[in-house]
Structures are given as structure tokens and as C-alpha cells.
Amino acid sequence: MPPQHIAIIMDGNGRWAKERGLPRLKGHERGAANVRPVTEECVAQGVKFLTLYAFSTENWKRPGDEVNGLWILLGHFLELELPTMMKYGIRLRTIGRTHELPEEAQQKLANTIAATAENKALTLILALNYSSRTELADAARRIAEDAKRGALDPATITPDTIGARLYTSEYPDPDLLIRTSGEMRLSNFMLWQLSYSEFYITPKMWPDFGKEDLRAAIVEFHKRDRRFGGI
């Protein structure tokens, strides 16, 4: 069986561009184009959920021209890829504080989410304006609010109580995390959900990560002995 849920930290777009003497946005453009073959391969492999770390809350610190270019690129990506999503039965969803995105980006996301709502082959989840620590803080705030109004007894709080209030409450935790460009860190991504995920780190930068690389990651996943703390 393939992993049910794969999460990817798509790292290396800027460095890929720099190595070729190109502007950083050219690397992001190439990285956006690379989403299509990877999602197509996920469908072919029978993966049901694919989460892509597309924009973190920390990414707002980047130069304004780059950030604005990323939101324009997101709009182009959604328009260009909608036919592919419909063809392959891909449903688009998001996690993160998307209400803080530029209004045009929010509208295009909403339109694409609505258009693909009935697709069932693969759920593609874009992590946008996402921070795992912010997600946990938001979950804690919701728990506190429920307790304050008497809807929740603090003595009954369990890990499931927290999980039900995360952005990802509708989805299973990732079985496999892939990080490109060789970096060995989580970068504030799905800290709760990745507790028992298998990690696959590749030196390839995201624009160069192809279908064969995804297949290699899945092969490696099947070699792992997943005991979840047991024997």
C-alpha cells in the first residue's frame, strides 16, 4: 500500500535559480510547474492526500517584490492547473491563515476549492501563510474559549482534543515527509502531525524533484519498520 498522506517541504527554488544566474522568482516559477508531475504521480500511486508547504508565516520577511510575485504566481498556478485537477480528480484545500492573504489570492483559492470540491482521487493541501506554532496557538485558544463558555471540561483534554482543533483536523497525519535540497529541519511545519511520520531527505532541489524521485521516496518508505512506539 502507498502512504496515504505525503507532506513535502518544497525547498530550494531560490538556490536553483541562483545557480543558473536567474532571478529567484524564476526558481519559484519552475517549482510551481513541478507541482503538476508530482501530483499526477501521487494519483497514479494511489496516494490520497498531498500537503505542500507553499508559504510560511516567516516568508513575509522576504523582499516585497518576491512576496508579491509569489501571490501573482499562485493565481497563475490555480488558473493553469484547474483543468489538470479536474482531469485527475484532484480536490484543492488549504491550511494556514489564508484570510490574511491578498484579497485576489483569497478569491482565486476560493474559486478553485469550490470548483474541485467533488473530486475524490487526491486531496491537494496547500499550506499557505502557515506556521505550526501558530496553528497550535490557535488550537489552544479555541480550547480555552470552549472551556470558558462551559463547553469543555479542562480535565477531559486529551491529544484528540487538540488534534480536533488543528487546521488539519479533517485529514490523517502524514505517513511520509519529503524535504528537498538536503536541509535537515522541519522549519515550523506540521510539528504535531509529523510525530510518527517517516522522513525522506533528498539533496535534489524542488524544481529538479520528479516522478522518479517520488517513486524512490515511496520505495524507501516501504522499507521502514513503523512501530509507533511498540516493538
Whether 59 is catalytic = yes
Residue tagged 478553485 (cell numbers): 112
CA distances from 150 to 30, 47, 136, 145, 154 (A): 51, 40, 21, 9, 10
CA atoms within 13 A on the CB side of 125: 24
Domain coordinates in residue numbering, the chain: 5-131+173-223
pLDDT at site 1 = 84
**Interacting residues of 116 by C-beta distance below 8 A, sequence separation 6+:** 82, 85, 86, 90, 91, 92
Active-site residue, selected from the candidate residues 59, 111, 119, 188: 59
How far is residue 193's CA from residue 10's CA, in Å, rounded to a whole number? 17
What is the residue-level pLDDT of the chain in tens, covering all 231 positions?
889 999 999 999 999 999 999 999 999 999 999 999 999 999 999 999 999 999 999 999 999 999 999 999 999 999 999 999 999 999 999 999 999 999 999 999 999 999 999 999 999 999 999 999 999 999 999 999 999 999 999 999 999 999 999 999 999 999 999 999 999 999 999 999 999 999 999 999 999 999 999 999 999 999 987 676 665
Instruction: Using DSSP, state whether 16 is helix, strand or coil.
Output: helix
Nearest to 204 by CA among 40, 16, 8: 16
Residue type, 129: N
| Main-chain phi, psi angles of 165, to 5 degrees | -110, 10
Active-site residue, selected from the candidate residues 11, 13, 173, 175: 11
Whether 188 is catalytic = no
Superfamily the domain 5-131+173-223 falls into: Decaprenyl diphosphate synthase-like (3.40.1180.10)
pLDDT at site 152 = 97
Overall pTM > 0.85 = yes
